[in-house]
């Protein structure tokens, strides 16, 4: 059962401003504020008028985040803070439905956050050349159980018990953009109860 070396595992790169875009939509969570502020600074020196067409949607989260003042100090007028990811995603979806061609998306935060944002961006047919994402923060994964279809959040271990069917799942690198989750496959189907060592690997 191939666990690593799977091509569907997303690859991320440090955020860079794309001033060919007309509108800039930035989404961040927790420590994702730092890359966003870096892009904003880059824009201010390269194409300051872009900041007038920039909107930030941000979930402060605990530890290492930024506040609204830091974005305001960076001269971005349109900043919205959210209590949690679901509220941010709801606003994101509404924003995309009113957005025009020429919009660029910048996403920074934990991979699970990026995945949920990408899932919605995909529904709006945004392509790779319209989205930039930088991974920072926890590597904890969303795991989709291929048996019962439940999604287990915040998985840090190589093997996890499914929240839906309680099977022990092996966490693979096989990633679904449509589900925004890694695939989990029953690990002890051949020999019930025989589990490999459980380790914390996604910290």
The residues that touch other proteins, with contacts defined as CB under 8 A, are 20-23, 96, 99-104, 124-130
From the CB of 104, what's the least distance to other proteins, in Å? Answer: 7
From the CB of 127, what's the least distance to other proteins, in Å? Answer: 4
Q: CB-wise, 95 or 157, nearer to other proteins?
A: 95
Q: CB-wise, 84 or 102, nearer to other proteins?
A: 102
Burial environment of residue 75 by CB neighbours within 10 A (0 to 12, 13 to 18, 19 or more): middle
From the CB of 116, what's the least distance to other proteins, in Å? Answer: 18
Contact between 28 and 85 under an 8 Å Cβ cutoff? The reply is no
From the CB of 198, what's the least distance to other proteins, in Å? Answer: 39
Q: CB-wise, 90 or 129, nearer to other proteins?
A: 129
In order of 61, 101, 149, 153, 183, the CA distances from 162 in angstroms are 25, 40, 10, 10, 11
From the CB of 20, what's the least distance to other proteins, in Å? Answer: 6
CA geometry: angle 113, 116, 131, nearest 5 deg: 90
Task: Tell me the residue length of the chain.
Answer: 203
CA separation for the pair 107, 5 (Å, rounded): 25
Q: CB-wise, 131 or 155, nearer to other proteins?
A: 131
Q: CB-wise, 83 or 129, nearer to other proteins?
A: 129
In order of 3, 90, 188, the CA distances from 65 in angstroms are 32, 21, 40
């Amino acid at each position: 059962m191939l666990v690593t070396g799977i091509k569907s595992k997303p690859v991320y790169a440090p955020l860079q401003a794309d001033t060919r875009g007309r509108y800039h939509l930035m989404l961040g969570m927790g420590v994702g504020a730092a890359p966003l502020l870096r892009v904003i600074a880059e824009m201010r020196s390269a194409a300051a008028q872009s900041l007038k067409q920039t909107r930030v949607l941000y979930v402060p989260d605990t530890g290492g985040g930024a506040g609204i003042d830091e974005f305001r100090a960076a001269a971005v007028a349109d900043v919205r803070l959210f209590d949690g990811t679901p509220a941010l995603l709801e606003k994101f979806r509404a924003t995309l439905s009113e957005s025009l061609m020429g919009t660029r998306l910048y996403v920074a935060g934990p991979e699970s956050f990026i995945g949920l944002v990408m899932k919605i961006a995909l529904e709006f047919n945004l392509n790779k050349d319209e989205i930039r994402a930088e991974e920072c923060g926890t590597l904890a994964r969303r795991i989709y159980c291929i048996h019962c279809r439940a999604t287990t959040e915040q998985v840090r271990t190589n093997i996890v018990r499914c929240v839906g069917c309680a099977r022990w799942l092996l966490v693979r690198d096989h990633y679904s953009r449509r589900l925004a989750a890694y695939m989990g496959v029953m690990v002890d189907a051949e020999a019930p109860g025989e589990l490999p060592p459980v380790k914390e690997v996604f910290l």
